[in-house]
């Protein structure tokens, strides 16, 4: 009778890990390690996709240029960001403030992407056809909002800035059932006035572990969040190592 035991000549695609739940330990540790690595890779790929889905919204700004040279692009990006800042603040003279002008000069810190557009028109004097080259820039809205808040400028929909040293805490958010849920939760954290930065660390089941940099302390942040309705506080002191609070994404 020919043995059915699996030997070294068995094709890899036919091998299966023998890890019965009752065994208490893995009978094929090498194969099981590979399976765990494969699962971890799949989870990381899923997390990367979710992070891409949560890409921040942008503010668009435009500036005229005569060429696509690098030197002219640098100046045009500053003009485009200035256009955004004036529009958000509602103050045409806001660039007269030295600190605002200095922040706008660092436009390359906030730009996510840019493109060129050629506009056609008619010269009002001669009636001749004209064309104008425009640089169109997309700026990270969350970063721009934080910059304006740091300058003491009001932005529509944003609360007054908090002058406090940020602290880092870890929170667990459950109720994440799709990429749209993830985008909604992380997008809210990016816009929330007390949050200085948010880093997704792990995705498991219907939840995500997030490291937050929060101004004003965690208790103040939890109180603000509970009143805004996007996230609900489940526990402000959960009995879990490495987690400072648990929250639930509202449906």
Domains of the chain: 58-150 (no CATH), 162-249 (3.30.70)
Residue 244: per-residue pLDDT? 94
Which sign, positive or negative, has the C-alpha torsion 140, 146, 149, 151? negative
Give per-residue pLDDT as tens, 172-213: 999 999 888 888 888 888 877 788 888 999 888 999 999 999
Sequence-distant (≥ 6) Cβ neighbours of residue 250 within 8 angstroms: 175, 229, 230, 231, 232
Average pLDDT, the chain: 77
pLDDT of residue 52: 43
pLDDT < 50 positions in the chain: 1-6, 10-24, 27, 50-56, 156-162
Residue 44's pLDDT is: 53
pLDDT digits (tens, 9 = 90+) for 34-47: 555 555 555 555 55
pLDDT at 124: 76
Q: What pLDDT score does 121 carry?
A: 81
Q: For residues 176 and 208, is the Cβ–Cβ distance under 8 A? A: yes
Token couple for 227? 């009143």
């Amino acid at each position: 009778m020919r043995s059915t035991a699996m030997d070294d000549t068995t094709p890899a695609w036919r091998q299966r890990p023998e890890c019965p739940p009752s065994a208490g330990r893995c009978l094929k540790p090498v194969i099981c390690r590979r399976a765990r690595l494969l699962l971890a890779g799949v989870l990381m790929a899923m997390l990367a996709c979710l992070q891409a889905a949560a890409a921040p919204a942008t503010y668009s700004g435009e500036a005229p240029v005569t060429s696509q040279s690098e030197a002219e692009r640098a100046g045009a990006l500053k003009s485009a960001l200035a256009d955004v800042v004036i529009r958000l603040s509602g103050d045409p003279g806001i660039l007269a403030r030295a600190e605002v002008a200095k922040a706008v000069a660092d436009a390359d810190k906030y730009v996510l992407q840019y493109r060129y557009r050629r506009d056609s028109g008619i010269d009002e004097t001669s009636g001749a056809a004209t064309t104008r080259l425009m640089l169109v820039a997309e700026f990270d809205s969350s970063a721009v909002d934080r910059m304006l808040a740091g300058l003491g400028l009001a932005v529509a929909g944003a609360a007054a800035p908090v002058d406090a040293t940020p602290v880092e805490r870890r929170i667990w958010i459950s109720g994440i059932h799709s990429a749209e849920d993830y985008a909604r939760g992380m997008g809210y954290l990016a816009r929330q006035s007390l949050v200085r930065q948010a880093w997704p660390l792990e995705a498991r089941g219907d939840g995500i572990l997030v490291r937050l940099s929060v101004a004003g302390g965690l208790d103040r942040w939890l109180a603000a969040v509970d009143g805004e309705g996007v996230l609900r506080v489940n526990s402000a002191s959960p009995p879990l190592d490495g987690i400072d609070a648990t929250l639930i994404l509202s449906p």
